[in-house]
Amino acid sequence: MTAAEPEWVRHVVWWHIYPLGFVGAYPADPPPALEEHRLRRVIAWLDHAVTLGASGIALGPVFASRTHGYDTTDHYDIDPRLGDDDDFDALVDAAHQRGLRVLLDGVFNHVGPDFVEPSFLRRTGDEVDTFEGHGDLLALDHDNPAVADYVTDVMTHWLRRGADGWRLDAAYAVADGFWAQVLPRVRQQFPQAYFVAEIIHGDYAARVQEAGFDSVTQYELWKAVWSALNDGNFHELNWALVRHNEFLDTFVPLTFVGNHDVTRIASRLDDIRHLEHALVLLMTTGGTPSVYAGDEFAFRGVKEERFGGDDAVRPEFGSAPPQLDTHSTDVFRLHQHLIGLRRRHPWLHTARTEALRLDNRRYVYRTGAGPDSLIVALNIDDSPLTVSLPDLGVPQGQIVAGSGAPQPEILSAAEVPPHGWLVIAPR
């Protein structure tokens, strides 16, 4: 755990939703009216989040915007397509009553064309700068002290209203010095608040140290998980986990196999049998895990680089709970089981991994923190994998999760079936 990270984060598994899509507010023609109070539809799903095993709900944008939520108009107003302040308060209260923390999405790198304070925009001559060439996403001037004051006040305003932390959207595009000004001022009032930055590339650890984030989004590991499974190249995954161990020396990354910005993991994988392996990796490695709503049902959706290309991964959800087929039910139960495993072993939050056996299609690793450890065996080959525990320095072990036929409770060797996996507790 980092010096700044609140103690409660050690136990968090986030259930992540994109509210505008989740409640059918965007895209929608005509858009829903304020009096529909659609944000309250999320409340009906909170019991599902608890049943899943989550202990926090990570919300995408909920503030007033023109379209998709990342073109903010006013950070102090709830988007009228979702509702109003009372609806927000009701959602936070309902979440907290169930023991769920609430993470908000702060879009503080750029705003929309209708933003309430044009003097906060960054200009080059007479032209307003844009974010990554998107004409409707206008860059804030982070060199302007008034912008730092504004962001500080917005953060504290909603923390005062009950939020537990912030995801900082596109934080990679903002100078670390800006965050180093803002975050200490927010922490002074809310020392238990959590701040996770969206960082895609670069030196994660250096940015955490320089900016003062608690965490960053672990895109390196996300990519390595599905790429290694698709290519039959566990060497790539092991390389990423070695890097991941190094990150854990400085901070605990936010880990995920899906979010609102990427193709769903069930669509990304070439072999749907390996969806289980991706989830095992998420839940048995160090980090603060996040499950993107719908992934627990093996929902599919492909992100495309075009206008509206995110819509397929940001669908509307109906009433809870949904009607599920056999495969979706099995995937949901596996999420429950592995989240339960993680909750019973809270040391996994800071666990480091060590490769015990590694080839292209078979990977056995120890995941541990201090005296605690588990052995995880992944097999994506067409032939079975025999794991001899004494050869790994472990006399015996007990299978605590896995695929395939039942095996003896205490064993010295185990067989992992083709395209199967096991989690073994040393004894």
Torsion sign, CA atoms 107, 14, 419, 274? negative
pLDDT score at 322: 84
Torsion sign, CA atoms 152, 153, 155, 159? positive
For 335-356, how does the pLDDT look when each residue is reduced to its tens digit (9 = 90+)?
Answer: 999 999 999 999 999 999 999 9
CB 380 within 8 Å of CB 229: yes
State yes or no: pLDDT of 133 exceeds 90: no
CA distances from residue 159 to 24, 162, 191, 199, 426 in whole angstroms, order as listed: 26, 5, 11, 23, 43
Instruction: Give all strands of the β-sheet with 194-197 in edge-to-edge order.
Output: 215-216, 194-197, 165-168, 101-106, 56-59, 14-17, 288-292, 254-256
User: Helix or strand or coil: residue 337?
Assistant: helix
Q: What is the per-residue burial (b if ≥16 Cβ within 10 Å, else e) of 204-231? A: bbebbeebbbbbbbbbbbbbbbbebbee
pLDDT score at 134: 87
For 212-228, how does the pLDDT look when each residue is reduced to its tens digit (9 = 90+)?
Answer: 999 999 999 999 999 99
Q: Which residues contact 337 (CB under 8 A, 6 or more apart)?
A: 401
CB 88 within 8 Å of CB 161: yes
pLDDT score at 406: 74
For 368-410, how does the pLDDT look when each residue is reduced to its tens digit (9 = 90+)?
Answer: 999 999 999 999 999 999 999 999 999 999 999 999 877 778 9
| Average pLDDT rounded to a whole number, residues 150-178 | 98
Whether 7-349 shares its CATH topology with 352-426 is answered no
CATH 2.60.40.1180 fits 352-426, yes or no: yes
User: What's the chain's length in residues?
Assistant: 427
Domain spans of the chain?
7-349, 352-426
pLDDT score at 54: 98
For 79-95, how does the pLDDT look when each residue is reduced to its tens digit (9 = 90+)?
Answer: 999 999 999 999 999 99
- Report the percent of the chain where pLDDT is more than 90: 94
Q: What is the pTM of this model?
A: 0.97
Task: Determine the Cα–Cα distance for residues 86 and 83; give it in Å rounded to an integer.
Answer: 8
The matching CATH number, chosen from 3.40.50.10420, 3.20.20.80, 3.30.1490.100, 3.20.20.140, for 7-349 is 3.20.20.80
State yes or no: pLDDT of 1 exceeds 50: no
Task: Determine the Cα–Cα distance for residues 340 and 269; give it in Å rounded to an integer.
Answer: 24
- pLDDT mean across residues, the chain: 96
